[in-house]
């Protein structure tokens, strides 16, 4: 499968700092969307308003935000590069090469962790320079990566290994693998970090992993080819995009059963939640739109146009 037809779904909702150098962000949440064909990073107000688009180079795929809430990291697997962009000034701050096919990304204050889809490693880079300062071997075709809050462990979706690699970030070594469904791709942690939710593309289900025991607790059937996953801040709902169904599954965090299925656009992939957890925003890759879903009613409340090929996104707020 071509790298350009893949994406990371490690989506987070973090607060952007307002009133810092450059412009101040609006008081409302802002959607940040990676458009692969359009080669842009788009900024859209959550309510109605004109989008702003920033050119970031060909074939962008994954996006992550640093702990400062303003530094964005965009991966380009087909080009072997990472673009760094300031979310407040909305300007490209840096661009640096990286070995292999950089795909998923996650950041701490000092380090950027990037999966290498073709090299089967997790890279650690200095955020200031982009210099490589370590790597860990992981399972085959690593896609999404997510870190625990303490920055001690990384969880990597190894798509071709049907497993989650656990990496000790202090030693940069893989300490174990957890078997899940077929072709795990997207990851989300529960707010208490006791569970890891895994979207399994080829088995059409959501793995629920108990991180204390290191065992898969349950597999929840969802739609066809689930590609993205996000969890509400209270852990009550897990939201899963189903690419081939054109739907979004809403899974109850208590009973671990699908309680609703919402029709959205064509080929939904990335999903992010608003900071209050009331709305989900879904990137519809094939029809160049975003669907906004009210999670209480399970209804699409708005559809927004984007640049070509929206695949991954964040929702940020001051």
Give the model's pLDDT for residue 78: 96
pLDDT score of 316: 81
Q: Are 229 and 240 in contact (CB under 8 A)?
A: yes
Residue written as token pair 């519809």 = 284
Stretches where the chain sits below pLDDT 50 are: 1-27, 318
> What local confidence, expressed as pLDDT, does residue 4 receive?
42
Sign of the Cα torsion 94, 99, 103, 105 reads negative
Domain annotation covers residue 76? yes
Q: Is residue 271 part of a domain?
A: no
In a domain, 277, yes or no: no
Q: What is the pLDDT of residue 87?
A: 86
Q: What local confidence, expressed as pLDDT, does residue 79 receive? A: 96
Residue 230 lies in a domain: no
Q: What secondary structure letter does DSSP report for 223?
A: S
Is residue 28 situated within a structural domain? Answer: yes
The whole-model pTM stands at: 0.91
| pLDDT for the residue 47 | 85
**What is the model's pLDDT at position 240?**
99
Which structural domain, as residue segments, surrounds residue 129?
A: 3-224
Q: What pLDDT was estimated at residue 15?
A: 25
Q: How many helices (H) and strands (E) does the chain have?
A: 0, 29
Which long-range contacts link 291-296 to residues 24+ away (Cβ below 8 Å)? 291/248, 291/264, 291/265, 292/46, 293/239, 293/248, 293/262, 293/264, 295/232, 295/237, 295/239, 295/250
pLDDT at position 317 is 72
Query: What are 58-106's pLDDT values in tens digits?
Result: 999 999 999 988 899 999 999 999 999 998 899 999 999 999 999 999 9
Residue 270 within a domain: no
As beta bridge partners, residue 198 has 187, 207
Residue 148: inside a domain, yes or no?
yes
pLDDT given for residue 70 in this prediction? 87
CATH number at residue 126: 2.130.10.10
- CA 313 – CA 293 distance, rounded (Å): 15
139-153 pLDDT, tens digit each = 999 999 999 999 999
Count of positions (residues) in the chain: 318
| pLDDT of 187 | 99
- The domain tally of the chain equals 1
Q: Please tell me the predicted confidence (pLDDT) of residue 1.
A: 42
User: Contacts for 108-113 with beta carbons within 8 Å, 24 or more apart?
Assistant: 108/66, 108/67, 108/147, 108/151, 109/66, 109/67, 109/68, 111/169, 112/64, 112/73, 112/82, 113/145, 113/147, 113/154, 113/169
Identify whether 208 is part of a domain: yes
């Amino acid at each position: 499968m071509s790298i350009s037809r893949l994406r990371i779904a490690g989506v987070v909702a973090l607060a952007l700092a307002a009133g810092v150098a450059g412009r101040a962000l609006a008081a409302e949440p802002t959607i940040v969307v990676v458009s692969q064909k359009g080669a842009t990073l788009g900024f859209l107000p959550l309510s109605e308003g004109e989008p702003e688009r920033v050119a970031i180079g060909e074939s962008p795929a994954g996006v992550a935000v640093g702990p400062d809430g303003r530094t964005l990291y965009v991966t380009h697997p087909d080009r072997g590069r990472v673009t760094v962009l300031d979310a407040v000034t909305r300007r490209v701050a840096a661009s640096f090469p990286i070995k292999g096919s950089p795909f998923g990304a996650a950041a701490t204050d000092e380090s950027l962790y990037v999966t290498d889809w073709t090299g089967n490693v997790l890279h650690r880079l200095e955020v200031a320079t982009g210099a490589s300062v370590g790597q860990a071997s992981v399972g085959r075709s690593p896609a999404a990566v997510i870190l625990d809050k303490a920055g001690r462990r990384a969880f990597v979706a190894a798509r071709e290994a049907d497993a989650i690699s656990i990496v000790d970030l202090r030693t940069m070594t893989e300490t174990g693998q957890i078997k899940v469904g077929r072709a795990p791709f997207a990851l989300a942690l529960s707010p208490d970090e006791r569970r890891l939710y895994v979207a399994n593309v080829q088995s059409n289900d959501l793995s629920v992993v108990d991180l204390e025991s290191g065992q898969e607790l349950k597999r929840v059937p969802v739609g066809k080819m689930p590609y993205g996953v996000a969890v509400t801040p209270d852990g009550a709902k897990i939201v899963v995009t189903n690419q081939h169904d054109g739907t979004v599954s809403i899974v109850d965090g208590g009973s671990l059963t699908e309680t609703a299925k919402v029709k959205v656009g064509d080929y939904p992939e990335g999903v992010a939640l608003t900071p209050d957890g009331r709305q989900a925003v879904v990137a519809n890759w094939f029809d160049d739109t975003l669907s906004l879903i009210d999670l209480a009613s399970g209804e699409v409340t708005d559809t927004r146009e984007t640049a070509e090929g929206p695949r991954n996104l964040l929702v940020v707020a001051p």
